[in-house]
Structure 1
Amino acid sequence: MNEVTLQLVEAPLEETVVRLALAGALGMFLGLEREWSQKSAGIRTFSLISLLGAVFTLLATETQLGEGLLVLGGILVIVQGIMLAIQGLLSEENAGLSLTTSVSMLVAYGVGALVAADFVVEAVAVAVLSSLLLVLKRELHEFAWGLSREEMRSTTEFAILAFVVYPLLPAEWTPEIAGLTIPLEPQVIWLMVVAVAGIGIVNYAIVSTYGGRGIAVTGFFGGLASSTAVVGTMLDHVRQRPDAASYAVAAILLANAAMASRNLAIAVGFTMGGETAILFESIIPLGAVIVLAFAIAAMTADWRESGPIELESPFSLKNSLAFGAVFLVVLVFGSLAETWFGTLGFYATAVASGFVSSAGATTSAVVLYRGGQLGATEATIAILLATVSSIVVKALLAATSTNTNFRRQVATYSGMLLLGGALASLVIVV
Structure 2
Amino acid sequence: MQSSIQLAAPGIDEGILRILLAGALGMFLGLEREWSQKSAGIRTFALVSLLAAVFTVTERDTLLVLGGVLVIVQGILLAVQGLQAEEQTLSLTTSVSLLVAYGVGAVVAAGYILEGVTVAVLSSLLLVLKRELHSFAWGLSKQELRSGTEFAILAFVIYPLLPTDPVRIPGDILSVTIELRVVWLMVVFVAGIGFVNYAIVQTYGGRGIAVTGFFGGLASSTAVVGTMIDHVRQQPAASSYAVAAILLADAAMALRNLLITVVFTIESGLLLTPLVPLGAVIVGSVAVAAYTADWSEEVEMDLTSPFSLRGVLAFGGVFLLVVVVGSVASARFGTAGLYVTSVLSGLVSSAGATTSAVLLYRGGAIDETTAMLAILLATAASIAVKAAMTAPGPDRSFAGRVAIWSTVVLGGASALVVAMLA
In the superposition, the TM-score normalised over structure 1's length comes to: 0.92
Q: Is residue 131 of structure 2 the alignment partner of residue 141 of structure 1?
A: no
Question: Judging changes above 3 Å, is the alpha-carbon distance between structure 1 residues 72 and 392 closer, same or farther for their aligned structure 2 residues?
Answer: same
Residue 417 of structure 1, CA deviation: 2.1
1:156 alignment partner AA: T
Q: Is the 8 A contact 1:208 1:308 kept in 2?
A: no
Among 322, 325, 342, the residue aligned to 1:350: 342
- In proportion to residue count, which structure has more helix? 1
Deviations 1:312-343 (A, max 9, x none): 11100010101001100011001111111113
Structure 1: distance between partners of 2:89 and 2:336: 69
Deviations 1:357-392 (A, max 9, x none): 222222232223222223212221221122112112
Q: Is the 1:219–1:252 contact (alpha carbons within 8 Å) kept by the matching residues of 2?
A: yes
Name the structure 1 match of 2:45.
46
Question: For structure 2, which runs of at least 5 residues remain unmatched after alignment?
Answer: 1-9
1:2-21 correspondence runs (5 A):
14-21=13-20
Q: Distance in 1 between matches of 2:190 and 2:282?
A: 23
Aligned to 2:312: 320
**How far did residue 307 of structure 1 move?**
5.0
The alignment status of 1:403 with 2:402, answered yes or no, reads no
**Aligned counterpart, 1:251:** 245
1:15-414 aligned at under 5 Å gives the runs: 15-60=14-59, 66-91=60-85, 93=87, 95=89, 98-171=91-164, 172-176=166-170, 179-272=173-266, 274-276=267-269, 278-306=270-298, 308-414=300-406
Percent identity for Structure 1 against Structure 2: 65
Alpha-carbon distance, 1:13 to partner: 5.2
Distance across 2 between alignment mates of 1:199 and 1:372: 39
Q: Cα distance 1:100–1:337, how it changes in 2: closer, same or farther (>3 A)?
A: same
**DSSP-derived class of the 2:30 partner:** helix
1:411, distance to aligned residue in structure 2 (A): 1.6
Q: Which amino acid aligns with 1:245?
A: S
Structure 1 residue 201, shift from structure 2 partner: 0.8
Alpha-carbon separation, structure 2, partners of 1:91 and 1:305: 56
Shift of 1:174: 1.1
Maintained 8 Å contact 1:27/1:47? yes
- Residue segments in structure 1 that go unaligned for 5+ positions in a row: 1-10, 61-65
Q: SS state of the match for residue 270, structure 1?
A: helix
Q: State the alpha-carbon separation in 2 of the partners of residues 141 and 248 from structure 1.
A: 33
CA distance in 1, matches of 2:254, 2:196: 22
Secondary structure of 2:111's aligned partner: coil
What is the RMSD of the two structures over their aligned residues, measured on CA atoms? 1.7
Q: Please report how far the alpha carbon of residue 223 of structure 1 lies from its aligned counterpart in structure 2 after TM superposition.
A: 0.6
Instruction: Call closer, same or farther: CA 1:347–1:50 in 2, change over 3 Å.
Output: farther
Q: CA deviation at 1:354?
A: 2.1
- Following the alignment from structure 1 to structure 2, what is the Cα–Cα distance between the partners of residues 307 and 243? 7
The 8 Å contact of residues 33 and 94 in structure 2, kept in 1 or not, is answered as yes
Q: Which amino acid aligns with 2:128?
A: V
Residues 300-320 of structure 1: per-residue CA shift (max 9 Å, x gap):
110112455111111000101
Taking the aligned partners of 1:345 and 1:114, their CA distance within structure 2 comes to 55
The answer (yes or no) to whether the contact 1:189–1:327 under 8 Å persists in 2 is yes
Cα distance in 1 for partners of 2:183, 2:197 equals 21
Q: CA deviation at 1:353?
A: 2.8
Distance 2:336 2:86 in 1: 74
Displacement after TM superposition at 1:298 (Å) = 1.2
Q: Secondary structure at the match of 2:92?
A: helix
Cα distance between partner residues in 2 of 1:251 and 1:387: 17
Distance 1:19 1:306 in 2: 57
When structure 1 is superposed on structure 2, of 410-419 and 36-45 the one drifting more is 410-419
Q: Please tell me whether the aligned partners of residues 232 and 394 of structure 2 are also in contact (alpha carbons under 8 angstroms).
A: no
Write out per-residue CA displacement over residues 107-164 of structure 1, whole angstroms, 9 at most, x where no aligned residue.
1111111111211111111111110000000000001101111111111111111111
